[in-house]
Amino acid sequence: MTQSDFITFSPNGYFLVPAAGSDLSTHTMCGSHAIPGAISPNSGAPLLLVTSLDLRDPALGIASAPVQKLHLLYSWTCPISQGPFAYRITSSGVELVEFTEGPPYTDFPYDGYPAFFPRYAVTLRPLTVEDQAVIKRLNRHEGDVISLADSFPLLAVPRSQVGGEPRLMQYPIAGYKCPVCKTTTRLLAAIGNDNGSEHGFAGNNYVQMLFYFCDSCSVVIAYNITD
């Protein structure tokens, strides 16, 4: 996987928040799946479904993908989590492009790790101008970061977000070039630890998954960072 010297953020950001009972959102977090090709080559188990985004939503700015739902996939229970992971979206499923090989884990990231987490609907809530300004200051360690984090605790910890500049536990971070066409991809989503379960995705609220997207090739690149 080739890194780029810069990272591209989308102009508008949205938090992924649990949908209200009357909300008709078709974006979801987690859930079981039978997506063709979405199998860990290290363990033979289904990849973890992190988020499913409805591409009919114009807020996402993705109009050319061959599918209606873009599934963000990962694996915490095998070496896929140890390096960049790339897969291509196709009309018939997914094709794995690049991944780290090795034997599966038995007790990482925590004991009793489930095969999947319960699915729930989420909606896109726009970041305010103040939200984005605070996140940028926190990322860049501008001013009194401790006081700023105390004043905005919900912005200091990584949350699930599409578009915009998310709270990043490492800054600056490099972008990634698509392994297929070699063009620089954009950061599509940053997913925090919280998924409604006791321990979350990784058992650490300061771990986050980053998902880049190549609009030309419908390739997703994922990796994780922590503080």
- Please give the tally of structural domains in the chain: 1
- Per the CB < 8 A criterion, the answer to whether 76 and 197 are in contact is no
Residue 110 has pLDDT above 70, yes or no: yes
| pLDDT digit string, tens, across residues 169-207 | 999 988 899 999 999 999 999 999 999 999 999 999 999
pLDDT, tens digit, 9 for 90 and up, residues 3-24: 766 677 888 999 999 998 756 5
Q: Is the pTM of this model over 0.85?
A: yes
Q: Contact, 73 vs 53, CB < 8 A?
A: no
Q: Which domain range does residue 10 map to?
A: 3-226
pLDDT at 141: 94
pLDDT tens per residue across span 133-178: 999 999 999 989 999 999 999 999 999 999 999 999 999 988 899 9
> Which tokens is 205 given?
């609220």
pLDDT for residue 5: 61
